[in-house]
Structure 1
Amino acid sequence: MIVGLIGNIIYKEPSFVHIEVSGVVYEVFISLQSFSAIRGDEVKLFTSHIIREDAQLLYGFMELSEKKLFERLIKINGVGPKVAMAICSTYTPAQFGVIINNKDMNGVKKVPGIGPKSAGRILVELSGFDAQLASSQSEDTNSSFNQASEALESLGFKKEKISDTLSRCDLSSDTASLVKEALKLLKTI
């Protein structure tokens, strides 16, 4: 079972990438969320390896919470990898967790390929899963938040000002983006 890849990107499109790992090139299907998060030529992806009668497919994710969402979705009867990737491309795990929590049928139906019956089934099957999504998302966020806070503190900003500023930033960002956004806000204060 292939659970992750670290390698160089040979070719990239919004729905898949070709990654060279030790001389072997893998085709990995990705969500639009992961596509927009890929920076540079080297990449580390969490993968889900699906083996079918006629194919072996790899689905890659930049964040572990997105992989957990995908793997939970494909366990639902009638939801295959394509529909699960459509959900991952439409919503971040945190956004989809809110939709599950609110039992937002219209939010689920906005995903291409999902009708009313499938939307209802997904909401019923994922009931309670929103808490797991929130906790795995907060682990990623807390790490970025703490690292950004330390970086800003090392630049000489006061802790109170840092926490106030970071609370107004987009907490789903990586550490570098958080620091940049916070510095812009601190400059205007």
Structure 2
Amino acid sequence: MQLKDEDGSITLEAALVIPVFMLFIVFMASIIRISVAEIALNKSVTETAQIIANHAYPATILSEELESIAGQKLSGISIGEISLGDVENLVGTTLLEFLDVNISGSNYIQELGNSAITPIIQKKFTQNTNSKMDGSNITVEVDLPSSLNGAADSYFGITATYDLDLTVPFVEKTITIKKQAYERLWVGGY
């Protein structure tokens, strides 16, 4: 009795199993990459919101003091008989319109907050990932409170989105990761 020749059977089995195994490894690596990006973005947004919420009160006190000093100094300024109010009447527009500052058309403070906080979150994100992921795909939106007087709506919020390109064969997708953090502003005594 002669047995069948089974040369090459392991090669055939390996040719069937190895591509599936390699695809599984690539997808697992992508899932890990997405998880690392999500954790880093969450940590960056949370830390930034906490830092800003903790430092808002001293900044508010400083801002109010500077407004008070500026108001006192500007209220006494007049050249001969012309005061700042007379200058506005002479120009025919308000001082902000004359200087071409359009605050009502676009939310100037909101845009300033977004542009100021975006580099901070991008830097924290690249520090938290410790990899080749850069923060250039991060967009940040800041939710500023309407008042800093200790009211119920004195929460500062940051919403950051990160566009992550998948590097998986046969898949050309971009995953958008979105994280939010809200912190109540410390406004002293409240």
TM-score (norm 1): 0.24
TM-score (norm 2): 0.24
Of structures 1 and 2, the one with the larger relative CO (CA 8 A, separation 6+) is: 2
Which structure has the larger Rg over C-alpha atoms? Answer: 2
